Structure 1
């Protein structure tokens, strides 16, 4: 699958939302996309782990971690779980760790940055709710497309197979 966020913006104009350019790529896959599943959590990645343990079906997990730089919301073990369960990608509005290992995994992973401290596990978080960050609103069932240029959100599939 070839995803080009500039081409999607050219073709669909205002029908797509463009996230502010605050994310970095960390996974081996730099072009990815799929239907969105959302999680909102703060310094607790319990729900992230639960979802990545389910069948991904080529979807993208989008996590609103409140941009907290105090705890990482994703590490190599969760990315390995996502790979084995068929997720297409993970976008974290927050921080991750274990990036040397994640960089070798066949998964699209984007985040604001890195921090080595893990989260506490309190079982907190909300799943499949609208999220608002990076200048856009992302709802469950939207479609996310990412490449080296940026990240766009559409309310319907724009690329064949997604």
Structure 2
């Protein structure tokens, strides 16, 4: 059974995971290309993975205002990494799409990030490397926002956190 933190009802593992994930995010942010914001990289990644999106959709997914996203897209256009096109489904709307130069940039960025991570992982034991690889599916699921049905179940269960099994214990 996982230890519970009495003040918050969360487990020690949940607190520790939050701390480590934040440290990883800061480390990756510090290792990114100079002159490119984290939000710009996130938008480029999102456009690479999702394809063209409306500015309002990008703003919503990135958690920024529409005017802020418009400014960011302007900067991406200045670098020739993105372009605006008319949405064929609604000619009043504009889609933001990646350009070949944007794809080249994000591909190079991902390659450089993977190299940095690979260099750090090489210093770890084979057991730790395998544990990180085994954690990938759970980390991907962790990043998916809960569905409304999940939120309703949590509320009806008294918002008790799920029990966490200790890894390596």
For normalisation by structure 1, the TM-score amounts to 0.22
Report the structure, 1 or 2, having the larger strand content: 1
Higher RCO, 1 vs 2 (CA within 8 Å, ≥6 residues apart): 1
Instruction: Report the structure number with the largest CA radius of gyration.
Output: 2
